[in-house]
Amino acid sequence: MRIYVYPGSFDPVTNGHIDIIDRAAKQCDKLIVAVLVNSKKKPVFTIEERVELLKCALAGRPNIEIDSFTGLTVDYLKRKNASVIIRGLRAVSDFENEFQMAILNKQLSPDIETIFMMTSLNYLYLSSSVVRELAANNGNIDGLVPDCIKDRVIEKLRSLKK
Ligand code: ADP
């Protein structure tokens, strides 16, 4: 059974992430979307909220699981018997960081591959931080995040601004 893991902050999940998730899920038997706890970034949504938003956004997809983890991604993959880390690439600016992480993970665990998927054109400029910025400032986030999480994202960002 081919188990892949898509790790990330998902603060919050966007339609750019969903696009990568749907495409990656076709390449494996099970895709685990895993929220990374403890990244260097200071998240706006708690880990429980981010998992909850992912669950809502991905409900009904049969071979997708949602989880969260702490520690090294390669250790998490081993615990889950997974073989591949999925990452998305947008602009050249993503490249250096992703390259560094992929090399590091390869050194830590040579059996684990990182597979990169290029963004779809529509999501080239979409990031969680763009969504947060718009939601906090009365901008329209229609089409940028899954419909079922839209209101919760707006509510949270506006409440933080008060
Ligand atoms: P991280 O903090 O690990 O970068 P993110 O939630 O920001 O977590 O992103 C997770 C992964 O999804 C990263 O590989 C990122 O490059 C990718 N990604 C984010 N937004 C998009 C998008 N619009 N199109 C394609 N990939 C994306």
Q: What is the mean pLDDT of residues 41-59?
A: 95
Measuring CA to CA, which residue among 152, 83, 141, 135 is closest to residue 114? 83
pLDDT tens track for 55-65: 999 999 999 99
| First-residue to last-residue Cα distance in the chain | 48
Determine the pLDDT at residue 92.
78
- C-alpha torsion sign, points 108, 13, 94, 133: negative
Q: Which residues line ligand 1 (CB under 6 A)?
A: 8-10, 14, 16-17, 20, 39, 41, 87-90, 94, 119, 123, 126-128
Q: What is the mean pLDDT of residues 44-52?
A: 96
Determine the pLDDT at residue 39.
62
Q: Is 17 a catalytic residue?
A: yes
Task: Pick the residue whose CA is nearest to atom 27 on ligand 1.
Answer: 88
Residue pair 15/149 in contact (Cβ under 8 Å)? The answer is no
pLDDT tens track for 108-120: 999 999 999 999 9
Residue pair 145/10 in contact (Cβ under 8 Å)? The answer is no
Q: Is 87 a catalytic residue?
A: no
Comparing 161 with 117, the larger pLDDT belongs to: 117
Determine the pLDDT at residue 10.
97
Domains of the chain and CATH, by start: 3-124 (3.40.50.620)
